[in-house]
Every structure is written in structure tokens, then in C-alpha cells.
A and B are shown apart, each in its own frame.
Chain A
């Protein structure tokens, strides 16, 4: 029987299971908007994550059942499935998962020792190498993916059918296309917000990271001439909420003390906003998170200087 009071999961497996459960509402809303492709992609990513995690554990000579038992592959698979653009071919998902688990996580020292967020590293490789698959993304106002049958989806994912040329968004960033004027184009953000707040409530994630991130994004967005409503609206675009509550809060790749975590959140928010405003990419979240990940040791040092034990006189 556990001695600790409270709802906080007491094991690594419990933590990972809680995160996976909290991802469900967002994924559900996303699937509601974009159709079966979301579930299909989630399935592929989970399968690939399971196989590749087992393979990596085998190669490293680690016990496979114990390694799979911590469910970190489940979280990584779910996050990648949602972070990758819809309708990417299966081999590209495999590449992303391989980068995430094989390179970022296991080659980086295994669970708990990686510097970079695995899911974001996987996404970054796909985003840099296969830019054309990211755009045009399915328009949230007219999600054509929802109309496709399962057979069509499978053919597209295995690249047996020619790629659809949809007249959706151009590659321009959403801040420039006037997307901000319309009412909530994406649905999933409410799901991620709810799931993330729940996780923060039971003490699985640190709320200061998403808060700092959102605050810095919004203030920077307003500084660049957008109204408050528009700035707040930009938080619902793309994978912002997913990143804020589920990716930037990854304990392994975020700092060790509160002040450093706030600085970390601010970094992610600022870089995201800069990419969204001036960059080539519409979303830029993965690059923002990776940048902040690399800064973690420095942020830790800055934070440690601000922190003073209570027994040392002020």
C-alpha cells in the first residue's frame, strides 16, 4: 500500500499511463474534425514505436519486458502521431519514430538521459527533410481528409495512390493568412487544454511551463501588432496546446527548478512566435522546443543561483 497521500501516480508506468489517458480527449476531438486518418496514423505510430522500442532495448541488452513496461514508448508514439502532419506516408512515420526512439532517446543514453525531446526530434527530421508533406495541411475549415474512405487513406499512406493536391492553405503562416479572424478553426486544443490541466492538477506536469510559454507568446504577438483576441486565438492554432501541456512539460528535457522552468517556457513561447511571424514554417513549435531543450543546462545553472535553501538566512 502506498504511504503517500494524493492522486499523483506513484510509478513511472503510472505517470506515462496518466499522460496517455490525458491525450485522449484532444485526439478524439481531432479525429472528429479530420476523420479516420487520425486513428489510422495513431495506430501506425504506436505499432512502430512498440517495435522500435523493443528493438532498441534488445540492441542495448536491456530487459525487454521491463523496458516496455514503463510505457514511455506509448507516450512517444501518441505524441508523434499527433505532431506529424496528417497523411504522411508510413515510411516517414517509421523514420520519425526511429529518430525519436532510436537516436534521440536510446542513443542519447536511454530513458531519462536524453537532452532532446524524442517526439520533437523525430518531427524535426521529417519537417526539415520532407518539407513538402507538411503543406498544404488539411484546412480546418474544410477538412477534406474526413471525406476519404479507409481504402483511400491506406493507399495514400503506403504511397500507392498519387498524392492529393488539395487547394487548402498555402505555405504562408496562419498569422499572415487572416486565419485569425475566423472562429476557432481547430477543435482539438480544448481537449489538450482540459487533459493538460488535469495532469497539472494531479501533479504529473508542472503548470509553470505552459503558463510561461503562453504568456510570452501572447505578449510577443501583441507587440508585433495583433490584438489581444488575435493573440489569444493564435494559441489554439496548430499543435500549440499539445506542445504546451504535453511536450514542453516532459520532465526529462525540461529544467530542474521552478525559475529555470519559467525561463524555459518563455524561451519556447518566444521562439515559436518568432518562427510563426517571420519563419518558413507555419507552426515552428518543434524547433522552439528543441532550442529550449539545448538551453536546459544553462537555464538550470541560472535557476540554481536564484534558489536559496530555507535554512540559510535571508
Chain B
């Protein structure tokens, strides 16, 4: 890779610029400084969640991916056993504990609007592992992509996009970027992971970079996580790796893909472009950790770290098996409040079904949401204060877009680049008139796509 790029003059220039880019953190305009409330749940070690003998509902659907069930009611399954079969585009699903399959049907999922087709398993409390297959480590990106699909690896940062699909689309990769920004307030699950499991993360990063042929691997971490940065740096030193940790400014949405790509490697990701188009691969730290576990230990993705925070007596991070009802977590957190917000305050939503289960993308539960989050207020009149314009990380004009969206002027919306909106919600949050800017953009974008 290095030799190749050094043979011709333009390649040498590119190499020079890339090296320079890897050293500095570039600026992007917009964003909001938020009260992060991370001290509530950080600072304590990750706890393991016991799997009691209760029914679990493991969703077969994750985002747009949908697996076909391959177990029948009455069948006994072991931890890690395949219960849903995927294909090139759909993730495989595994049992997160041992028990008897009860039924297959829809179940409410904490961070999903609609119920998802799920496998209900009556856990036996023994948590018995299936014999782990010692598969040969994937040797090409295509192999790895297929392997990631088989291991049920979904992106753990938010959208839950299959890691395998992301890797399958990889072309020439100059930079492998690891997203450890965790710019959402309250969340500390990635922070905890980086502090405690930095070795696996670095090992996985080196493995993936070698496979992709990425010249440089950069981890972006917001400056409010000094312990995580230190842990990563010492893990890098131990492994003798050439991964670099970059401290990025604390500003929401620093973890947004275009912002992260800009800040870490200086490349500009235009609306509609994928990171692959500009020679970059972006992976969340937790997704990378899961990839590492899958490759090195043969473990499918059957658990995730969930931040329990807000009004509870034992806030912190807990490793939860997928499919566990959120009611089980109230006991661990020491929370009595029924008013729960799922996910971060910016991208998450209120929990409306109390019996909902944890999915691969359930990152956080905030108990006592009314006391911690801004109260929803009726929308007033826009006073054209321009704050939405100032905070928009994609340099859009939310104020004018909102007027056009309300009047359904599709042509104007297209002209004003609504497609570039990353739905981060910075505009809605900073609007003094409390206009539902993000919601209206979401709807208009859907209408535009049709």
C-alpha cells in the first residue's frame, strides 16, 4: 500500500496530505454544546446482567433486516445458537441465552416504532453456551462481510445498519475511522467499553485495517472522555499498533458521519455520498468490539452494553442479553419511575410499551425522563432568530425549509438540499419557538423519496 503510493508523484502527494490529515483535527461549522450529564453513569465498571428464568423475546427484525425463524416452539436452544436465518442483506439472529422456544410472534421493541417479529424463549437460567465453532478467521473483506452477517453484527451506534453490508460496499480504503465520539448526552456505554475493553478494540481495528488495506486507522473520541482516551492509548502502546486516537471537540453531533469524517481525516462527505466514495470506512467502537469478539472468539452478537441513568439509585452500564424485557433492568438500576426515555435525548424516543425488550440498538434508558429532558411545549411563531441556521451541521436553512415543508413545496425543498439533512435535531432543540423542525423534515424527506 505504502510502496504503491510512493511510486508515482501524485501518489506521493496524496500520501503526504493523508499523513498531514491524520495529525490534525479539522473544523466543521454548526452544532450545539450540550449539558452531557455523563457523570451520572460513568465511573463505574460495566456490570453483567444475570439471565433469570423469565421469557425473552429476541427480535428477528432489526432496522430493514429481517431473518427467517429456524426454530419451532417447544425446541430447546442454547446460548449462541442460530434462531433466525439471514442472507446477503439480512442479519442472522442468535439465542442470547439457553431455554425453550415458546412461540414466534410480534413483540414490542424498546427503540422501535412498530412491534418486531420475535422468537419468545423461556430462559432456563442456566445460560448454557452452544459449542463455539472455531471458524477460520476471514482472510478477505468479502469473507469478513459474509462472516459478519452470519454473526448478526449490526451497527451498535444507532441505526443498526448491518456491519457486513457496510464492509461489502468497501472500495479502496485509505482511512479506517472508529467512531468513539458518543456525542449524545447521558450515554456512556461506548465510554465504558473503551475504558474496559480497549485491547479488543485495538486488536480488532488492526485486524480490520489490515484486511481493508487501510493506510491509517484513527479513533475519534470527544474530549469529555479522558479516561477512555488514556485507556485506548495504553492499549495501543501494549499492542505496538499504529492506530491513532484523536480528541475531537465536544459538540453535538460530532459523531455524525459527515462531521466525524471531516474532523478526523479532513475529507468532505457530500450529501448522498457514502464514506466508501471518499476512501473512508467508518465503524462505531461498539460495532468494532463486536466484530472483534466474533472474529477472535467466535461469539455472535447476543448482548450489548446499555447505559442506565437518570433518576435511579444505581446508574451505570450493564451488559444486557438481547431480548431481555426492560422491566428487568429497573431492578438493576434501582429505578421506580415508569417515565422512561430510550436512547439518547437527541435521537431516542419515549418508551411507550412497558413490556418492550432490549434490541441490538437499545443504547440507553433514562429513568424519570420528565425531570431530565426538556419538556415538550406547544410550537409558537418563528421569530427568525437564525439559531437553527447557526447550529445546522449540514449548513442548511432549517427556518426556510420549515416554511416550505409546511406548504409542501417539494421543488423548493429539493432545491434547498433537504436531502442533506442528517436529522440530528440540533435545530429543534435550539428553536426558542419550539417548532417541530426535525419531525417535519423527516416527514418531508420520506415524501420526497416517494
Q: List residues of chain B with CB within 8 A of the CB of A257.
A: 386, 389
A311-B268 CB under 8 A given contacts A1-B374, A251-B386: yes
Number of interface residues of A (CB under 8 A): 29
Q: Which one, B258, B382, B432, B433, contacts A9 given CB within 8 A? A: B432
Interchain CA distance A10-B345 in the complex, whole Å: 17
Q: Which one, B258, B271, B374, B394, contacts A3 given CB within 8 A? A: B374
Closest B residue to A10 by CB, please name it: B432
**Interface locus among A11-19, A22-30, A172-180, A286-294:** A11-19
Interchain CA distance A110-B374 in the complex, whole Å: 27
Is A230 on the interface with B (CB-CB < 8 A)? no
Q: List residues of chain B with CB within 8 A of the CB of A6.
A: 33
Q: Which one, B34, B258, B372, B384, contacts A251 given CB within 8 A? A: B384
Q: Which one, B371, B373, B377, B384, contacts A112 given CB within 8 A? A: B384
Is B73 on the interface with A (CB-CB < 8 A)? no
Is B269 on the interface with A (CB-CB < 8 A)? yes
Using a CB-CB cutoff of 8 Å, which residues 151-179 of chain B contact chain A? none
Closest A residue to B397 by CB, please name it: A256
Q: Is the CB of A311 within 8 A of B383?
A: no
Q: Is the CB of B373 within 8 A of A15?
A: no
Q: Is the CB of A256 within 8 A of B384?
A: yes
Closest A residue to B185 by CB, please name it: A3
Interchain CA distance A111-B385 in the complex, whole Å: 12
A312-B270 CB under 8 A given contacts A12-B432, A15-B432, A257-B389: yes
Interchain CA distance A110-B380 in the complex, whole Å: 11
Is B262 on the interface with A (CB-CB < 8 A)? yes
Q: Mark B170-197, 1 if CB is under 8 A from A, else 0.
A: 0000000000000001000000000000
Q: Which one, A1, A3, A252, A313, contacts B429 given CB within 8 A? A: A3
Is B15 on the interface with A (CB-CB < 8 A)? no
Q: Is the CB of A312 within 8 A of B268?
A: yes
A252-B374 CB under 8 A given contacts A4-B32, A10-B432, A12-B432: no
Q: List residues of chain B with CB within 8 A of the CB of A70.
A: 380-381
A1-B430 CB under 8 A given contacts A70-B380, A256-B384: no
Q: List residues of chain B with CB within 8 A of the CB of A10.
A: 430, 432
Closest CB of chain A to B184's CB: distance in Å? Answer: 10
Q: Is the CB of A11 within 8 A of B395?
A: no
Interchain CA distance A48-B430 in the complex, whole Å: 33
Q: List residues of chain A with CB within 8 A of the CB of B384.
A: 112, 251-252, 256
Using a CB-CB cutoff of 8 Å, which residues 260-301 of chain A contact chain B? none
Interchain CA distance A257-B29 in the complex, whole Å: 14
Q: List residues of chain B with CB within 8 A of the CB of A66.
A: 378, 380
Q: Is the CB of B35 within 8 A of A311?
A: no
A1-B399 CB under 8 A given contacts A70-B380, A310-B262: no
Interchain CA distance A11-B269 in the complex, whole Å: 34
Closest A residue to B426 by CB, please name it: A4
Is A309 on the interface with B (CB-CB < 8 A)? yes
Q: Mark B379-405, 1 if CB is under 8 A from A, else 0.
A: 011111110010000110101100000
Interchain CA distance A204-B434 in the complex, whole Å: 16
Is B296 on the interface with A (CB-CB < 8 A)? no
Is B207 on the interface with A (CB-CB < 8 A)? no
Closest CB of chain B to A260's CB: distance in Å? Answer: 11
Q: List residues of chain B with CB within 8 A of the CB of A206.
A: 386
Interchain CA distance A256-B345 in the complex, whole Å: 29
Is B12 on the interface with A (CB-CB < 8 A)? no
Closest CB of chain A to B415's CB: distance in Å? Answer: 12
A251-B394 CB under 8 A given contacts A4-B429, A14-B432: no
Interchain CA distance A110-B429 in the complex, whole Å: 23
Q: Is the CB of A4 within 8 A of B33?
A: yes
Closest CB of chain B to A72's CB: distance in Å? Answer: 8
Q: List residues of chain B with CB within 8 A of the CB of A14.
A: 432
Using a CB-CB cutoff of 8 Å, which residues 94-127 of chain A contact chain B? 110-113
Q: Mark B330-356, 1 if CB is under 8 A from A, else 0.
A: 000000000000000110000000000
A311-B32 CB under 8 A given contacts A11-B434, A256-B389: no
Q: List residues of chain B with CB within 8 A of the CB of A182.
A: none
Q: Is the CB of A311 within 8 A of B374?
A: no
Closest CB of chain A to B343's CB: distance in Å? Answer: 14
Q: List residues of chain B with CB within 8 A of the CB of A313.
A: 268
Is A5 on the interface with B (CB-CB < 8 A)? yes
Closest B residue to A69 by CB, please name it: B380
Interchain CA distance A3-B397 in the complex, whole Å: 22
Closest CB of chain A to B310's CB: distance in Å? Answer: 11
Interchain CA distance A15-B270 in the complex, whole Å: 35
Q: Is the CB of B381 within 8 A of A251?
A: no
Q: Is the CB of B374 within 8 A of A12?
A: no
Q: Which one, B271, B389, B434, contacts A311 given CB within 8 A? A: B271
Closest B residue to A72 by CB, please name it: B383
Is A2 on the interface with B (CB-CB < 8 A)? yes
Interchain CA distance A307-B395 in the complex, whole Å: 9
Q: Is the CB of A311 within 8 A of B34?
A: no
Closest CB of chain A to B88's CB: distance in Å? Answer: 31
Interchain CA distance A20-B345 in the complex, whole Å: 32
Q: List residues of chain A with CB within 8 A of the CB of B400.
A: 256
Interchain CA distance A145-B433 in the complex, whole Å: 41
Q: List residues of chain A with CB within 8 A of the CB of B32.
A: 4-5
Q: Is the CB of A311 within 8 A of B269?
A: yes
List 7 A–B pairs whose Cβ atoms lie within 8 Å, in order of A's numbering: A4-B34, A15-B383, A256-B384, A309-B395, A311-B28, A311-B270, A313-B268
> Chain B residues in contact with chain A, CB under 8 A?
28-29, 32-35, 185, 258, 262, 268-271, 345-346, 371-374, 377-378, 380-386, 389, 394-395, 397, 399-400, 420, 429-430, 432-434
In order of increasing CB-CB distance, the 7 nearest A-B pairs are A309-B395, A111-B381, A112-B381, A5-B33, A251-B385, A311-B268, A112-B382
Extra contacts, 9 of them, besides A1-B35, A3-B346, A3-B373 (Cβ < 8 A), are A1-B371, A3-B429, A4-B32, A10-B432, A70-B380, A110-B381, A111-B380, A251-B383, A310-B28
> Chain A residues in contact with chain B, CB under 8 A?
1-6, 9-12, 14-15, 66, 70, 110-113, 206, 251-252, 256-257, 307, 309-313
